[in-house]
Every structure is written in C-alpha cells, then in structure tokens.
Chain A
Amino acid sequence: MARRHPAESRGRHGRAESPVPDAAVCVRGLVKTFGDFTAVGGIDVDVPRGQVFGFLGPNGSGKTTTIRMLTGSVAPTAGHAWVLGEEVTAHPERVRSRIGYMSQKFSLFEDLTVAENLRFYASIHGLEREVFEQRRAWILRMAGLEGREDELTRNLSVGWRQRLALGTATIHSPELLFLDEPTSGVDPVARRRFWDLLYELAEQGITLFVTTHYMDEATHCNRLAFINAGTLIALGTPTELRDSFGPGATLEDVFVGLEEQSRREP
C-alpha cells in the first residue's frame, strides 16, 4: 500500500468526508507500520459522542500507536481517522484545539509550579483571562490542590500529579479526551478517585477514549474494544462481551480468552 504523507493529503480538497460525521472518533482501515513491524494492522472503530470508550489490549498491542494517530502525533501508513468530524492528517491543528490528551507519564513540567503548569497550558490554548480563572479554580478544587499552587510539580506525590495532569489536559474544555493508561502506577484509592473524576467529565458530555489493562476499570466503560497484535478482536458493551463468552464469564475471562484465541488463529 502506498505511503501517504500528511503534507500530501493536506493539499487535497474535499476528500473523504467522515462516513459517520457526528461520531467523536471514526476510524477506517487504519494501518501503521514501522519498517517490517506492523503496530496497527487495519482497524475500524466508531466512538459515538458522550461515551466512555475503553480501548483494551496487552502491552505492545498497538493501543498507544492508535491514540497517537488519532491525536495527529504520528501519521498513519494507510487508512483514515476522523476525530470530531475532521480528518486528522488533513487538519491536525483543528483537531488538537478540541481534544485533550493525557499520557501514562502524566507529562507535567516538573520544574514548574502547579500554577505555572496551568498558566502555560491555558496560554497555549489561548484561553481568555476570565475563562482561565474559572478553569483554574475548578481544576485546583478537582485535584485537591487548593493552597498548593506554588509547589513545584516534582514535589507532588503521584495521585496529585495524575489529577493535575488531567486538569492540564482538560483546561481548554475539550470535547474529546484521550487517556493512555492514565492510572498506571497509581494506588487503588487514587484510582477510584480518578475514575470518579472521569465520570464527572463524562456527565459534562465529554467523550472519553481510555486505554487500560485493569479489568475493573473496563467495566466502567460504556463500550469496549479489544486489540491484540494490532488487530481488533472484539467490540461491544461490557455486558455483550461477557454474554458472548458464556454464562458467568468475567471481563477478565473474555480478555484472556480472546487473546489466546487470536494467538491460535492469527
């Protein structure tokens, strides 16, 4: 398949409208290869708006690469990805101002204070002063960081860093939030608290696209997709997936079973 470069597709006009224009995410035949290695081998996914969508798979199955293609950080080798109705490779900047992204590294500037981190992202997104004050107050309350604005981020413990990272990723009130293993390395209490926050965001109408390999977190999602070795092997609500696997099956059984099945018949 011919390699498409983002610059090339940007030049073409009126090409490829999204088949599902009102979906938060719409993916058709998305492929990413690095040399001989196929990280993502042609997947199709639709994520309606307002959903908490769980993207599950073992380590190295292509979850992060898929998210990176959806955020426009990495150009796909083939296929199409529409995010909020825009084709990502054609208009990455239009997409980026409307989405948020939080990686498993929490990616804060550790040598800046809490307040400076917020100010930086607010300014990058061009927030008006009043809007920023409002968002800032909300984030500090949400993260439990009121009164700690002038602390250096590197001195915060992991739960606070995680919630601050969620705050900086949503400072511009995105319509869609990508979370790449946002709870790795966080204790169960902080994880629970974090999911409460995610529900709060979902209630505000934000679409959440979450990768995880914690099965208890997967049950919190409206819909799930299983990916293994770059291929989508199952898609459905948690209940549908459990039922399809027989009575009394847990999501963990589904996950392990599907993984083994796809290994036997590649």
Chain B
Amino acid sequence: MSGRRIRTLIWKEFTQLRRDPLLLRLLMIMPIVQLILFGYVVAADVRNLATAVVDLDRTATSRELVDAFRGSGYFTIVENPTSETALQPLLDTGVVKVGVVIPEGTQDRLLSGQVADIGIVVDGSDSQVSSVASGYATQIVARENLDRPARLGVSTVGPGIDARVRVVFNPTLDPINSMIPGLIAAILLISLSAIMSQAVVKERESGTLEQLFVTPIRPPEYIIGKVTPYAVLAIAQMTIIAAVGMLWFRVPFYGDVWVVGLGLGLFLLVCIGQGLLVSLMARTRAQAIQTTLFLMLPMIVLSGFIFPIASMPAVIQPLTYLIPLRYALDVLRASFIKGSGLADLALPLLALAGFAVVIFGSAVLATRRRITE
C-alpha cells in the first residue's frame, strides 16, 4: 500500500468530479429536494379534507355535530348537498373525500333514547386518507356522544370507558420526527449506490481501468482512492440533512452522536460496497443504472422507511431482515427519538456490521478478480 498512490488517485477522482459541475450540484441539491419532499409532502398530516355534509335532520343536534366536524380542523366543509343521491357524484369526481350524512329524525331518536345512526362515507382510493379520515370521524362522534348528555344536563349511564392514548417518545406524533432521521440513511443509500455504480464501469468503458492495472497500483489502493471522494460527498450530504432537519424542522435529537456515527459509518460501507459490486458486474453504464434502480425500490419499500414493517403481510416481513436499510433506520430513529444507546442498539449495529463485512468484503474480492477480465 502506497500513500502517495492513494493520494494521487483521490486527487484524480476529485479533479474529475470538479469537471462535472452538474453532478456536484445534483448531489448537493438532492438532499434539499428530498427534505422538502419528505418534510412537507409525505410527512404532512392529513388535514383540511374536503367534506360534504348532507344534513337531513336540520335540528340543534345535527348542527352541533356539523360544528364538531368543522371545528376539528381535519374536515373542511365545502359542499352541502340536499340529498344523499347528490353526494355520490361529488365523491365520484373527487370534489370531496368525505361525506357525512345525518338522516332525518336523528334528534328525535336520540331524545327518545334510541340509537341514531349517521353515515360517514370515505373515499377509499387513497388508503392513507381514508383510514385517517375514518379515525378522526369516529373520534369526533365519540366525543360528541360524551359531550351531548352533559350539555343537556343528563348524566350518562355509568362511568363508561374513556381511553386516553399516551404516545411515548414522539408526543406530538409528528411524522417528521421519524421521517428525517430515516431520510439521512435513505439519501445515503440512494445517492451513494447510484454514483458508485457508475464509478468503475465508466473507467472500464474508457479503457483507463485496464491501463491503471498495468501500473504499480494495487486493487486495495484503487478501491480506497475511488471510494474516499464519494464517501466525503456522502458525509456532506448527510450533514446537510441532519442540520436542516434539526434547525429548520426542529427534529429533536436525544441520542448519542457516536452511536449514530457508528451506525452510519457501517451503513456507508454497505452502500459503497453495493454500488461497487454493481459497477464491477455491469458491462455498461446503462446496465449499472438499471441494476441500481431494480435493487433500490424493493430496498426502500421493505425497509420500513415509508410503510411500517408491522403492517406488511406476515409472508413478506421475514424478507425485511435482509434489507440493510432496515437496521440503519432502527439505529437512526431510535437514537433521534428515544435516545437509545449502544447497548439498546447492539442488535441492529451488529447486523449492519455483518452486512458491511459481507458486502464490502465481496466488493473488494470482486475488484481483484473482475477488474480486467
């Protein structure tokens, strides 16, 4: 191993990067765009759902119920059709996502001690919206059931059950608090495996790779020289996300910086190794891009970055153990939100270390073997 040769390779790689200002700009803009996307769009709470109310009862009770919906902040009443049949086209065309139907005689039934049914119609084409909307609607009705007798001065029969859910670790239930720590790992995976996949195959196409290996450069020197500049860039990207996330989105950090650093360092090796492997196996740059895309989607979906693993089918769940991003997310989210330490995170960290050894190790071996043939 020669320090001079490694430094020369790093210098060469940085000089080539500098000649590609578009790539550099993309690399620095990408985390910002992703932050905006995931910070404001994906993580946005479901609010101000367009709602139509069909009030056929037109009584004090029905108006109170409508006010409760309006006052919740989750529903914006944009239409007041006069019949249930007029509601259907509004849902069909997507003008409203939710319909509330209060049948005639609701107040009378309630006053005479009967159960009154009201209809909540939810557009199920967006499962996220529909599940959240029906949840909120159920809550509002339940609350109304508790409040109404009190307002009328009638005591309810028995104390009833009043569940008060207390959310630990993320009290505001702000999805951004788990989204941004996850984003740090996701960006690392996306950008590193994408750029690294091009790294070697580009040099093979141009013939310079063959040329380099007729000089005293050894394969480990080549890998270090190749990987270092991109690792530096990736660390810059992660720093941008973490800084913007904590300063702008006010994501709290309760964890240990060293534990997060260890987890990210191991995950960095996994991502670089994966990119290198793709680059070594691919014959052309186009092949490398296709392979990366092919790998990326299942990795992100199965990692639990966007969709919780617990809600995946039981058959699929074991597969998620094969996805390194899953463990990186565990480490980051637990560190940021729960302040978990080294001991709590030993398992995911060990898993990451295992992946790093296997994937990066096989990339190094593959470089030795495949570099010229």
**Chain A interfacial positions (CB closer than 8 Å to B):** 68, 71-74, 93, 96-97, 99-101, 103, 105-112, 116, 120-121, 123-126, 152, 178
Contact = CB atoms under 8 A, between A and B. Distances in A.
A97 B207 contact: no
Contacts of B210: 73, 103, 105, 107
Contacts of A101: 211, 214
15 contacts: A73-B372, A74-B372, A96-B215, A105-B207, A106-B207, A107-B206, A107-B207, A111-B19, A112-B15, A112-B19, A120-B8, A124-B212, A126-B2, A126-B4, A152-B19
Contact of A72 (B2, B211, B214): B214
B15 A108 contact: no
Interface residues of B, number: 25
B372 A107 contact: no
A83 B211 CA distance: 18
B213 interface: yes
A68 B215 contact: no
Contact of A103 (B4, B20, B211): B211
B208 A124 contact: no
Contacts of A96: 214-216
B15 to A, nearest CB: 6
Contacts of B15: 112, 116
Nearest to B217: A124
Contacts of A108: 208
Contact of B218 (A68, A93, A116): A93
Interface of B: 2, 4-5, 8-9, 11-12, 15-16, 19-20, 206-208, 210-218, 372-373
B211 A112 contact: no
Contacts of B213: 73
Nearest to B202: A111
A99 B214 contact: yes
Given A97-B216, A110-B206, 5 more contacts: A73-B214, A74-B372, A112-B12, A112-B16, A124-B217
Interface centre among B4, B16, B210, B373 (most CB of A within 10 A): B210
Nearest to A126: B4
Interface centre among A72, A93, A107, A110 (most CB of B within 10 A): A107
A155 to B, nearest CB: 12
B214 A120 contact: no
B4 A125 contact: no
B237 to A, nearest CB: 22
A200 B5 CA distance: 30
A106 B208 CA distance: 8
B208 A93 contact: no
Contacts of B214: 71-73, 96, 99-101, 178
A101 B207 CA distance: 12
Given A96-B216, A103-B207, A125-B216, A68 B372 contact: yes
A109 to B, nearest CB: 6
A126 B2 CA distance: 10
